[in-house]
Each structure stands twice: as C-alpha cells, then as structure tokens.
Amino acid sequence: MPTTAEFEHMLRGASLRVTRPRVAVLSAVHHHPHADTSAIISAVREDLGEVSHQAVYDILRALTVAGLVRCIEPPGSVARYEARVGDNHHHIVCRACGAIADVDCAVGSAPCLTPSDDHGFVIDEAEVVYRGLCPSCSTTTATTDTRKDSRV
C-alpha cells in the first residue's frame, strides 16, 4: 500500500495540487478497492473529520480525469472506484451480495472482445463483467438448497 509521500508524488505527477482531502480520497480508494462514493466519504471522514460530499465527488472526478483512479459502473450497481488503472482488466460481480473482484483480461480465444463492426472507432479498451456467486454466497446457497431439499 502506498505511503502518504507516495500519494503526494502521484498527485504531483498528475499535475494536481497536493491537499489533505485529495490525499485522503486517493488513500481511501487504494485501501477500499471497488468502494462506492458513500464508503469513500466515510473513510475520508474517519481520516480528516468533516468533508463535504461535493468535495469528495469533485476530487474523485479530478483523480479519474488524471488517470489516478478508475470509475467502474457494473450493471445494476452505483459507480465504484478503484486504484488499479492502466491495464484492461475486467470484473466479476456476485449476484447475491454484490462483491466485486478484479479479473485479468480473458485468455485464449475471445471473439466476443473483437467487435464485428468497429464503426470507425479506434478501440483501446474492452470491458467485460462476469456474474456469478462469490465463494461465501455459493456456500450459503448450497446450504439453503440442501435444507429445502430435505424438507420435501
């Protein structure tokens, strides 16, 4: 996990002024991958005390534009933020609890990542969202299903 000095260096490297709220937001995103804005606001307030919602939204926007964080919007979910930037990774989302995990790019033959018609676009990214049940929910579901079967 980066240190405060490293967060400051990242901000300067992106030509952003170093402020305590910016460092706190960047730190929160690093410490809470795939967190939504509410969770980031809570983490920042634990660190700094009172910070406005708008300030955090503005900082997240600036950090996203600068390429220091990435905003993802899985279908059916609010926007979430992560510090893993600069690669074309994907996500897997639990249908039951909403947990999100990173997945490296698809390997092998992946024709679904090559569009049938690029409409003249220069494509530099493909986003895939895998859906399923996380280990915890799949265990819970299996246990629940077993109980249902035994009552029949």
CA 17 – CA 8 distance, rounded (Å): 9
A 10 A CB-CB count for 43 gives 19
84 domain-assigned = no
Q: What is the pTM of this model?
A: 0.81
Structure tokens at 134: 């996380």
Q: In sequence order, what are the residues at sequence separation of 6 or more whose Cβ sits closer than 8 angstroms to the Cβ of residue 53?
A: 37, 41
Containing structural domain, residue 30: 4-72
62 domain-assigned = yes
78 domain-assigned = no
Same domain, 108 and 52: no
Same domain, 10 and 68: yes
82 domain-assigned = no
**Alpha-helical segments (H) within 14-134:** 20-31, 37-48, 53-65
Same domain, 104 and 61: no
Question: What pLDDT, on a 0 to 100 scale, did the predictor assign at position 111?
Answer: 42
85 domain-assigned = no
Task: Give residue-wise pLDDT tens across range 3-34.
Answer: 999 999 999 999 999 999 999 999 999 999 99
Same domain, 33 and 67: yes
Helix 37-48, helix 53-65: angle, nearest 10: 110
Same domain, 99 and 129: yes
Domain total in the chain:
2
Task: Give residue-wise pLDDT tens across range 67-84.
Answer: 999 999 988 889 999 999
Residue 117 pLDDT greater than 50, yes or no:
yes
